[in-house]
Structure 1
Amino acid sequence: MNITKNNVDALNAIVTVEISKSDYSAKVEKTLADYRKNAAIPGFRKGAVPMSLIQKQYGKAVLLDEVNKLLQENLNRFLVEEKLDILGNPLPKVTEDFNWDVEDYKFEFELGLAPEFSVDLTAKNDLVQYKIVADNKMLNDQVARIQKQYGKLIAKDTVEDGNDVSGIFANEEKGINNRTTLSLDVFADKKTAKAFIGKKVGDVITLNTKGLFDDDHKLMDYLAVSHDDVHGLDVDVTFTIDEVTTHEPAVLDQELFDKLFGPKVITSVDELKAKIKEDAEKQFEQQADQKFLNDVTEFLVTSTKFDLPAEFLKKWIQTAGENPLSAEEAEVEYSKSENGLRYQLIEGKVVTDNNLQITFEDLKTYTSDVIRKQMAQFGQMNPTDEDIQGIVARVMSNQEEVKRLSQQVMNEKMLNLYKDKVKAKSKEVSYDDFIKAMYGEI
């Protein structure tokens, strides 16, 4: 057997596999001999069927099978031994006049080669690494929500200033039908709030969505409208009142603090606000980190220039799925997946260049931390190490979970690397401004 590679260009190559009779004949003969031992053909005793008959009936199929096995085994070995970094899988070149009746065969395969490129994490950029701060307004609002949540709820017959109103927003044409609860101060215009005063359960109020709230994003929460539809939405909606309530706010005393955080953990309103700020900013840090990771990813895809074997990949896409695609369909699929492929290559390069590896201990430590946080959310603040390790062992026996957690560990390593290497501008923002930045509005 002889295998050779010919580079068409930097991104494409042809591998030629030449198979001679001596490569497959012994295996074909052995397989046919095994067939003969077990063949049950009328007129012949078992094991006494003439080999010429076995050859006629099974010879071609056995030949094709053995040659195909040789092809796959040796082609794969060649790719590994030559350390070829390929994209997709080798594509056999179709030969219209291929002749299986000869004894020696030649097969050709097209390869798409991964491009050579470098990734400059220190390149000039316009990236921003956000630090989200819990401002005084947020802290005061959160304290008010706590007082409301733990206060006394009182049902009312008629809407008065300061009440909460529950009901259904509806617009049949836009498919809006969402039950929600809101306070009257949520509206941007005080006239809108006044329209509710004096109304009762069962009353219907018609409102226009344009400028209904101080931030159009609130339409997503109250009307269950998608982000793509909220900006400039200008339709009439009805609000059918089905409940009116008022709250007697809870007193900010030691009894409430203990109920929230345990005995004597918090002893004053200032300490309560400090705790709220600490917890909120921890959650905000995760969101800011995810945005930074996404922004760096987009920057690297845009700024790291290299060519791909596009025509090869389109041909490969045509045959890669369960159902063959037309050239036009493959073109569409390639357009959808190109950036994802580019980032896979970039990520692989970053991992290699910076020797980012996931060890078993990394995975165990990360999984333990995740489990401890989850248990804390359900009030289990001090689980034993034995309990944690038992859960870790069960989780890591699931290959799908290991794969998912490994990706999260690698994302964390990539994030820490980007924070260290990428020269982004730091910026403190409120949570509201961060949300606007998320959607490209500041």
Structure 2
Amino acid sequence: MNISREQVDALNAVVTVAISKKDYADNVEKVLADYRKNANIPGFRKGQVPMSLIQKQYGKAVLVDEVNKLLQTSLNDYLVEEKLDILGNPLPKITEDFNWDKDDFTFEFELGLAPEFSVDLAAKSKVTKFEIEADDKMLNEQVERIQKQYGKMIPQDKVSEDDNIRGTFTNEEKGINNSTVITLDIFNDKKVAKKFIGKKVGDVVSLDTKGLFDDDHKLMDYLKVDHDDVHGLDVEVAFTIEEINAIEKAELNQELFDKLFGEGVVTSIDEVKAKIKEDAEAQFAQQADQKFLNDVIENLIENTKFELPATFLKKWIQNVGENPLSIEQAEEEYAKSEKGLRYQLIENKIIADNNLQIQFEDLKSHTAELIKKQMAQFGQLNPSDEEVEGIVARVLSNQEEVKRLSEQVMSEKMLDLFKEKVNAKVKKVNYQEFIKEMYGE
């Protein structure tokens, strides 16, 4: 057998595999001998069927099967030995007049090769790393929210300015049907709030969504409208009042502090605010990190220049599925997947260049932290190491979970690397400013 490669250009090659009779003859003969031992053909005892008859009945199919097995094995071994970094899979070149009656065969395969390129993480970029601060306005609002949450609800016959109103927003055309609790200070226009004053349970208030809130994103919270639909949404919604309550705010005293944070953990309103600030900024940091990671990825895709074997990849996409695609369908699929493929190549390059590896201990530690957080949500604040380790072992026995968690660990390693090496501008913002930055508005 002989395998050779013709380099068409930097991104395309053709591999030729020449197979002669001596490469496959022994395997074909062995398989046919096994067929003969087990063949049940009328007029012959088992194992006594003439080989010529076996050859006539099964010879061609066995030959094709054994040649294909040999072909796949030898081609795969060649790609490994030559250390060829290919995209997709080798595509066989179709030969219209291929003849299986010959003794020697030649097969050709098209290859799409991964491009060579470099990734400069320290290059000048427009990426911004946001640091989100919980400002005084947010802290005061959170304290007031806590006072209302732990306060006393007093049912009311009519809506007054500071009441809590439970009801349902509806709009049949847009499929809006969301039950929620509102206060009148959420509306952007005081005229809208006045529509509610004096209303009773069962009354319906009609509202225009355009300009209803100071930030259109609040439509996502109160009406459960998708982000893509909130901007410029201009429909009429009905709010049906179902319950009206005045709130007698809870006192800011030690009893409330102990209920919130545990006995003696905080002893003053300043300490309460410090605790709220710490917890809020920890959550904000996760959101800021995710945006930073996404922005770095977008920046790398945009600024890391390399060519792809596009013609080959479109052809591969066209033929790789169970049902072949049309040229137009393959073009469309390639357009959808090109960006993802580019980042996959960039990511692999970064991982190799920086020797990023996932050790089993990394995976165990990451899984244990996730489990502890989940247990804390259900009130189990101090689980034993033995208990956590048992759950970790069960989780990591599932290969799908191992794959998912490995991706999370690698994402964290990439984030740490980007924080260290990417040339980003640091910008401090409050949460509302961050939301506007995040959505590009």
- TM-score (normalised: structure 1): 0.98
The aligned residue for residue 155 of structure 1 is 155
Counterpart-to-counterpart distance in 1, 2:106 and 2:301: 40
Please give the alpha-carbon distance, in whole angstroms, between the structure 2 residues aligned to 1:395 and 1:242: 44
Mapping for residues 23-422 of structure 1, pairs under 5 Å: 23-422=23-422
Shift of residue 319, structure 1, vs aligned partner: 2.2
Q: Secondary structure at the match of 1:125?
A: strand
Q: Any idea what SS the aligned residue of 2:125 has? A: coil
Distance 2:113 2:165 in 1: 63
Root mean square deviation of aligned Cα? 1.1
Q: Deviations over 1:306-328 (max 9, x none)?
A: 00000111111112233321111
Structure-2 separation of matches of 1:166 and 1:378: 27
Q: Which moved more, 1:280-289 or 1:148-157?
A: 148-157
Select between 357-366 and 165-174 the one with higher mean Cα deviation. 165-174
- Stretch of structure 1 that moved more, 149-158 or 406-415: 149-158
Deviation of 1:374 after TM superposition, in Å, equals 2.0
Unaligned runs of 5+ in 1: none
- Provide the residue aligned with 1:16 in structure 2: 16
Read off the aligned partner of 2:189 and give its amino acid letter: D
**Per-residue Cα deviation, 1:390-427 (whole angstroms, up to 9, x for no partner):** 22211111111111111111111111111111110001
Unaligned 5+ runs, structure 2:
none
Tell me how far apart the structure 2 counterparts of residues 166 and 317 of structure 1 sit (CA, whole Å). Answer: 53
**Cα drift, residue 379 of structure 1:** 2.1
Aligned amino acid, residue 255 of structure 2:
E
Distance 1:367 1:168 in 2: 40
Give the % identical residues.
73
Local SS of the residue matching 2:106: strand
In structure 1, what is the Cα distance between the partners aligned to 2:379 and 2:287?
Answer: 24
AA in 2 matched with 1:309: P
Corresponding residue SS for 1:322? coil
Counterpart secondary structure, 1:397: coil
Give the TM-score normalised by structure 2.
0.98
How far apart, in 1, do the equivalents of 2:166 and 2:257 lie?
29
- Deviation for aligned residue 1:372: 2.0
Deviation for aligned residue 1:112: 0.4
What does the per-residue CA deviation read over 1:279-321, in whole Å, with 9 as the maximum and x for residues that have no partner?
Answer: 0100100000000000000000000000000011111111223
- Tell me which moved more, 367-376 or 258-267: 367-376
Amino acid at match of 1:89: N
Of 379-388 and 8-17, deviating more is: 379-388
Return the offset for 1:206.
1.3
Matching residue's letter, 1:91: L
SS in structure 1 at match of 2:206: strand
User: Cα deviation per residue 1:164-197 (whole Å; 9 max; x = unaligned)?
Assistant: 1122222222222222211001011111111100
What letter matches 1:369 in structure 2? E
Partner of 1:427, secondary structure, is: strand
Counterpart-to-counterpart distance in 2, 1:270 and 1:321: 63
Structure 1 partner of 2:6: 6
